[in-house]
Amino acid sequence: MTADVREPVESESGWGVLHLFYRVDRARAEQEPGGARRALDAMAALTAPRPGGESSVESQPHQVLTFVALGHKADLGVMAVGPDLARLQTFQRDLERAPLVPTWSYVSMTETSEYSTTEDDERARLAAEDGITDPAEVEALLVVWRERIAHYRAQRVRPTLPRRRTICFYPMSKRRGGPADAGANWYALPFDERKRLMAGHARVGRGYAGRVTQLITGSTGLDDWEWGVTLFADDPGDLKEIVYEMRFDEVSARYAEFGPFVTGLLLEPAEALRRVGLSE
């Protein structure tokens, strides 16, 4: 048996993200006991550190979350994140050894937003909203701002997946206009207008800080939609509320198109597999 030799596939701009959805093959699960163990072994192999690898990417963290899906779109959901796309693909292949049948998947990458606030934006905000123009005071506040924005950007690109109780995933795209509404073309808007609109959209999201954790990942050129949105919350009602409120914002109301939603209960891997009927 030959070893699985492969070169890491990494990007300078972000980490790979896989959303994998499965139903359990009940007949195979009965014929092949230990299906949960095969899935758990695949997860352990993905998340195990690999110090001393030829590429630094091999020693960086890869993470897995598991959830049982509500409704009939899937039995089990798996979210895997990490810098090495080849390692993620190996994980996807290893999961096939368990009695799991894919129902859907989504591929995206972590990214920073092109509409992120710049230092000049923050200086202007301090002057316009807070009336702060003294150079020394502005600089002191900017030191704190730089630390906060650096943490935010790092979390967008190299996220630590949160341990909440519920999860919701959906893909989305921005409209390009059509016969019924040629004016609803996001990509025809000037950059400054798009940035202004996204700033208002972001304010809605910040209103749920502490209640909902959002991970927006890019999929233009990688999958059927342009972004994947993953929401995490302890209270499932918060998932419903944030999406409902954001739909009234112009960015969503006029320019957004949404794909299917999958919602589930986040559980430790062994418990999630037990809940869907797989034993060790």
Q: Which residues of the chain are in CATH 3.30.70.1030 domains?
A: 16-111+268-275, 159-264
The answer to whether residue 1 scores a pLDDT higher than 60 is no
Of the candidate ranges 63-72, 112-121, 239-248, the one whose mean pLDDT is the lowest: 112-121
pLDDT for res 51? 60
Please provide the CATH number assigned to the domain covering 16-111+268-275.
Answer: 3.30.70.1030
Question: What residue has token string 């163990």?
Answer: 37
CATH of the structural domain 159-264, one choice from 3.40.1160.10, 3.40.50.300, 3.30.70.1030, 3.40.710.10? 3.30.70.1030
Summarize pLDDT for 87-100 with one digit per residue, the tens: 999 999 999 999 99
Dihedral of the alpha carbons of 32, 33, 38, 41, in degrees to the nearest 10: -160
Q: What is the DSSP secondary structure assignment for residue 186, as one 8-state letter?
A: G
* Residue 170 is a catalytic residue: yes
Q: How far is residue 172's CA from residue 133's CA, in Å, rounded to a whole number?
A: 40
Q: Is residue 198 helix, strand or coil?
A: helix
Question: What residue has token string 């299906």?
Answer: 35
Q: 84 burial class (0-12, 13-18, 19+ CB within 10 angstroms)? A: buried
Task: For the chain, report the end-to-end CA distance as a whole number of angstroms.
Answer: 26
Cβ contact 244:14 at 8 Å:
no
Cβ-Cβ contacts under 8 Å for 243 (sequence gap 6 or more): 168, 231
Q: Work out the angle between the directed axes of helices 135-157 and 119-130 (0-180°, nearest 10).
A: 130
pLDDT for res 279? 86
User: Which residue is catalytic, options 22, 170, 208, 255?
Assistant: 170
Summarize pLDDT for 173-197 with one digit per residue, the tens: 999 886 666 678 999 999 999 999 9
Report pTM: 0.89
